[in-house]
Amino acid sequence: MLNKSDMIKQQNKTITGENIEKLSIKEKVGYGLGDTAANLVWRTLMVFLPFFYTDVFGISAAAVGTLLLVCRFWDGITDFLMGLISDRTNTRWGKFRPWILWTAFPFGILTVLTFTTPDLSYTGKLIYAYITYSGLVIVYTANNVPYSALTGVMSSDPLERTSLSSYRFFFAFLGGLITQGLNIYLVSFFGKGDDVLGYKYTMTLFAVISIILFLITFLSTKERVKVPVKQDTSMKQDFRDLMKNKPWIIIFFVGFLFVTMSTLKMGSIMFYFKYYVGNVGLAAWFMIFGSLAAMLGAALTKKFTLLFGKKNTINYCFTLVMVTSGLLFFARPDNIVIIFVLSLLTEFAAGPIITLFFAMLADTADYSEWKNKRRATGLVFSAGTLAIKLGSGIAGATTGWMLMLFGYTANIAQSAETLLGIRLLISVLPAITAILAIVVFRFYKIDEQLIERIQQELKSRQVGATQ
């Protein structure tokens, strides 16, 4: 009798057939570097931007919370628009690849402007922050929605997509590792005591690297999965199909809760180490080891999927995040080893979750085509960046408002009440969010058997359309 791992492998061979082209390691690495580029900046926004706005630029915590919520909420709406636009883009490079090229330089320029601090009045600073930050996240949308959609069109093989997603998030966490591990030191090196200059020059460096990596991704990838023959281009019907796609709706909310959970933790790290632990220098090592653990988790996702299946892997990982995050609340400032070990376990579990989130979005795109005989890959994958925007927006706003509620004032010793708020942000709130994600994910019904059936029928349709 075949065990579960062998069954999934055999199903995948049946699904894909011998004529499905396997992706080369070179192409997978090239694709993954695109998320290294994005995360050099996006992870900086998630981890350092609240701290930068409050402690460097001089904006109040409450105003920062509102800014993050407003900008990311309205920008999240543009994700659906970008999905529709990219689905209707037709160039000699494909539908999605050209957007990586077109947005590379605007992304770099707006990154530098976001971390530039002109000498303005308080109101002027707020206006400047709203303009530059909202501009950056809009360009991020125009880049990342098509980039994410590439997962669904570079291969139709479910295991190849999982492998591709593993490469993507290995390199995404690499980008996070670079910025989280080096940001504090680069700011000190470039600024020489002036954090304003330090952040500006550090982000200029990251912006240049991001542009180069985006160009590599554009040049090294290829789109293979095409839309069904004679498909109409009704936007209204695309939205109807999406709203009837129950697996997509569930995956969207799971992604939203995951990003909320992650951003709550990451956005409070600097405050936690500066004010609770009392050693901000440890924050860099905390983030370095966490990123390495996440990279390992992402790299092992395909193996976990073969052993347990996608659904069980996500459930196990969310459970681990729930337990380790909750336990962190009880760590004392001098329990450095415990703090680091709990973080390693949390981030290790986060690696497979985000990897499988995007792999399963591709499954929901196939499900929609199977049900409706129409494909809208870009629109389906807009759930990825929409979940990121809304989740990070809610978490960013919660961070700012919680700090205000618990009496936070920048650059002074914090009260016991404020320290309690910081501890809740990094531990209890992420644990509660993980519980909610587990509950929502119980309603997801696509498993390996259904994927096998969907792929077989889609393949039969494609063969019939060519005859």
Encode pLDDT of 284-315 as tens digits. 899 899 989 998 998 899 899 999 989 999 99
**Phi-psi bin for 309: left (phi > 0), alpha (psi -120 to 50), beta?**
left
Residue 190 has pLDDT above 50, yes or no: yes
CA distances to 93, 317, 328 from 275, in Å: 50, 30, 16
Condensed to tens digits (0 to 9), the pLDDT of residues 32-41 reads 999 999 999 9
Query: Looking at residue 95, what DSSP letter applies?
Result: S
Q: Encode 186-232 in three state secondary structure.
A: HHHHHHCCCHHHHHHHHHHHHHHHHHHHHHHHHHHCCCCCCCCCCCC
Q: What is the pLDDT of residue 169?
A: 86
pLDDT for 240 beyond 90: no
pLDDT at 140 over 80: yes
pLDDT at residue 53, as a whole number: 93
Mean pLDDT along residues 175-199? 92
For the segment 123-139, the average pLDDT, to the nearest whole number, is 94
Residue range 355-402, pLDDT digits in tens: 899 888 888 888 888 888 777 777 777 766 778 778 888 998 899 899
CA-to-CA dists, residue 203 to 78, 162, 243, 372, 399, angstroms: 25, 32, 39, 45, 23
Locus of tokens 């459930």: 315
- Name the residue among 207, 22, 44 with its Cα closest to residue 112: 207
Q: Which residue has the higher pLDDT, 18 or 47?
A: 47
Mean pLDDT of 140-156: 89
Lowest mean pLDDT among 13-22, 140-149, 177-186, 333-342: 13-22
Q: Largest Cα–Cα distance of the chain, in whole Å?
A: 74
* Mean local confidence (pLDDT), 259-281: 92
Give the pLDDT confidence score for residue 159 in this predicted structure. 82
C-alpha separations of 12 from 56, 132, 214, 439, 447 in Å: 52, 46, 31, 28, 12
Q: In which band, very low, low, confident or very high, does the pLDDT at 464 lie, cut at 50, 70 and 90?
A: low
pLDDT at 21: 62
Task: Give Cβ neighbours of residue 125 (< 8 Å, ≥ 6 apart).
Answer: 57, 58, 59, 117, 118
> Do residues 174 and 182 touch, judged by C-beta distance below 8 A?
no
Average pLDDT of every residue of the chain? 88
- Cα R_g (the chain), whole angstroms: 22
Provide, for the chain, the percentages of residues in helix, strand and coil under a 3-state DSSP scheme, each rounded to the nearest 5: 80, 0, 20
Count of other CB atoms within 10 angstroms of residue 412: 9
**What pLDDT was estimated at residue 465?**
56
d(CA 348, CA 179): 18
| Gap between the Cα atoms of 351 and 174, Å rounded | 12
What's residue 16's pLDDT?
Answer: 40
Least trusted range by pLDDT, from 172-176, 217-221, 343-347: 172-176
Q: Is the pLDDT of residue 241 over 90?
A: no
Q: Taking residues 244-256, report their average pLDDT.
A: 91
* Residue-level pLDDT at 231: 54
Quote the pLDDT of residue 456. 84
Structure tokens at 254: 């799971």
Please state the φ and ψ torsions of residue 94, each to the nearest 5 degrees. 110, -165
Instruction: Provide the 3-class DSSP secondary structure of residue 409.
Output: coil
Within 10 angstroms of residue 319's Cβ, the number of other Cβ atoms is 14
Q: Tell me the pLDDT tens digit for each residue of 24-83.
A: 999 999 999 999 999 999 889 888 998 899 989 999 988 998 998 888 777 777 887 888
86-122 pLDDT, tens digit per residue, is 888 889 999 999 999 999 999 999 999 999 999 999 9
pLDDT at residue 1 is higher than 50: no
Q: Do residues 5 and 159 make contact, with C-beta atoms less than 8 angstroms apart?
A: no
Asked if the model's pLDDT at residue 459 lies above 90, the reply is: no
Tokens 């590599």, residue?
216
Q: Residue 18: is its pLDDT beyond 80?
A: no
- pLDDT of residue 233 exceeding 70, the answer is no
Q: What is the mean pLDDT of residues 135-140?
A: 92
pLDDT digits (tens, 9 = 90+) for 278-290: 998 899 899 899 9
Q: Give the closest residue to 151 by CA, choosing from 247, 31, 8, 301.
A: 31
Q: Contact at 8 Å (CB) between 286 and 183?
A: no
pLDDT of residue 13: 47
At 181, the pLDDT band (50, 70, 90 cuts) reads confident
- Output the pLDDT for position 11: 47
Q: What is the pLDDT of residue 78?
A: 82
Closest CA to 179 of 48, 29, 31: 48
In whole angstroms, give the CA distance from residue 306 to residue 304: 5
pLDDT of residue 232: 57
Angle at 165 between CA 162 and CA 168, to 5 degrees: 155
